[in-house]
Amino acid sequence: MTYGNDRFIPVLLGTGVGAYNIARSLHEAFGVRSLALGRVALRETRYSAIMDVRASREFDEPDAIVATLKGLAEEFPDRPILVVACIEYYLNVLIDRRHELGDRFVVPLPPRELADKLINKTDFYATCEALGVPHPITRVLTPAMRGDATLGEDLPFTYPVILKPSNTDIYPRLTFAGKQKVYLLHSAAEVREVAERIFAAGYNDDLIVQDYIAGGESVMRVANTYSDKRGVTTCVSVGQVVLADHDPTMVGNNNAILSVADANLVDAITRLLNAVGYTGSANFDVMHDRRDGVSKLLEVNLRQGATSYYAMGAGANIPERIVRDRIYDEPLEHQVTTAERLWLNLPYPLALIFAPRELRGRVLRKAFGARHTLWYSKDASPRRLLEVVRVDLRYTLSTLTFARRGQGF
C-alpha cells in the first residue's frame, strides 16, 4: 500500500475517531493515505480508503510500540515518518521513547519536563496564576493533609465545589468504590470523605479543589491550537460545546460543537503557550463563567482533541500545519477561527433535540453545511458507509438511553 507522498509518511497511533480526524484532514490537504497503529481496528477507521489500520494486542507494551515504529523505518526507508499520537497513552510513550527512534521520525511533541508541567494540574494552575491566565479559583490538598479534621473548611469560594486529582497518570490506574473522574461535592465533610477514599486507594499526589462554575453544555468550551517548532502559537480555534457525551465511560468527550469567536480566550491561551515555549498541537477544556463573563481554562491535553474536526469546519486544518511546519519547513501564517460552523459526532436531529435551549436556535441555523468527521464523500464505499451508520446508531442509542434516565439532559 502507498502511504503519504514523496515527502513524508503519516503514521497515527490510535484507531478511533481521533485517528480518522487526522487522516481525513491530511487527505483533504495533501490527498495522502495514512497508516494507523493500535490494539484493535475500531469501526471509526475500519474499511477506510484514506487510511489503513494495523492492529496488534502487543501495543499495550511500550517496547512493542517502539519496535513496530522502527520496523516501519526499515519498511519505508526513503522518507521521513511523521508520528502523531491520538490518545494519551501513546503520547506518553512517544515523549519518553522518541530518542530511540532516530532522525527519520518527526514527533511534534514537547519535551518531558514541559509536558509534566502542563499535565500535572497543580503545576498547570500555578503556571496560569503566574501568567495571569484565567482559571477557576483553586486550592491544593496534599497527601500530608490526610486526616485533617478541618479539610475543606475556609475555602475562598462557596459550596458546591469540584474535586479532582492533579496526577492523571496515577489516578486512572486506581480502582475503588465510587470512583469518578471529577467529583461535585456539597460540603467540607464530603471533601474529607472523598479525599480519604482516594488516598486510601493508593493515590499519593495532590488533589485539586476548585470553584464550581455552574451550567451544562452551554458554558463548556474547547480550544485546539498549533504551536510551531520555534514555540510560537500560530493557530487557535475555539468551540462552544452543544452536546457532551453523557456515557460515564466517555466523560470529557463531545458529540456536537459550534466553532465560535472568543478573542479573550485566544489571547489567554496564546500567552500561556508562548510563555512556556510550547510546540505541537494542544487541546484545552474551558468553562465560560457567567458570573464574570470570562472563559477559564480547566486543563490541557498535549494533542489534538478527538473532536477537533470542528476546527476544519471553521477553516483551520491543524494536521496540515504540522506537515507544513515540520516536514516542508514552511512559515505559517497566524490563524484564529471566528466563523460559526456546526460539527457533529452523531446524527443532526439528536444534536438539535438535546442541545441546551439557549443554543438550539444556533444549531438550527447551522444545519446546512454541518460537518461530521466520519461522513466523508471521498471515503464512501458501501462497507465503509455501513460502519459509519453503525457508529451513528451506537451514539443514537447511547444518547437516547441516558436521556430516558434523565442524566444530563
Instruction: Look up the CATH architecture of domain 137-211.
Output: 2-Layer Sandwich (3.30)
Q: How confident is the model at residue 215 (pLDDT cuts 50, 70, 90)?
A: confident
What pLDDT is stored for residue 407 in this prediction?
52
What pLDDT is stored for residue 183 in this prediction?
95
In the chain the first and final C-alpha atoms are separated, in Å, by 46
**Tens digits of residue pLDDT in 29-50:** 999 999 999 999 899 999 999 9
| pLDDT above 70 for 252 | no
Q: What percent of the chain has pLDDT over 70?
A: 96
Q: How confident is the model at residue 355 (pLDDT cuts 50, 70, 90)?
A: very high
**Tens digits of residue pLDDT in 147-180:** 899 999 989 999 999 999 999 888 988 999 999 9
Please, what sign has the CA dihedral across residues 20, 359, 125, 249? Answer: negative
Q: What percent of the chain has pLDDT over 90?
A: 88
- For 237-279, the DSSP string reads EEEEEEEE---GGGTT-EEEEEEE--HHHHHHHHHHHHHHT--
Query: Superfamily assignment of 9-107 in CATH?
Result: NAD(P)-binding Rossmann-like Domain (3.40.50.720)
Mean pLDDT within 77-101: 95
Helices (H) and strands (E) in the chain, counts: 12, 17
What pLDDT is stored for residue 63 in this prediction?
97
For residues 281 and 110, the answer to whether their CB atoms sit within 8 Å is: no
| pLDDT above 80 for 402 | no
Please report, for the chain, the start and end positions of each structural domain, with discontinuous segments joined by +: 9-107, 137-211, 217-363
Backbone φ/ψ region at 87: left (φ over 0), alpha (ψ -120 to 50), beta: beta
CATH number of 217-363: 3.30.470.20
What pLDDT is stored for residue 213 in this prediction?
95
Q: How many Cα atoms within 13 Å fall on the side-chain side of residue 320?
A: 17
Q: How confident is the model at residue 337 (pLDDT cuts 50, 70, 90)?
A: very high
Asked, colleague to colleague, whether 9-107 and 137-211 share their fold, the answer is no
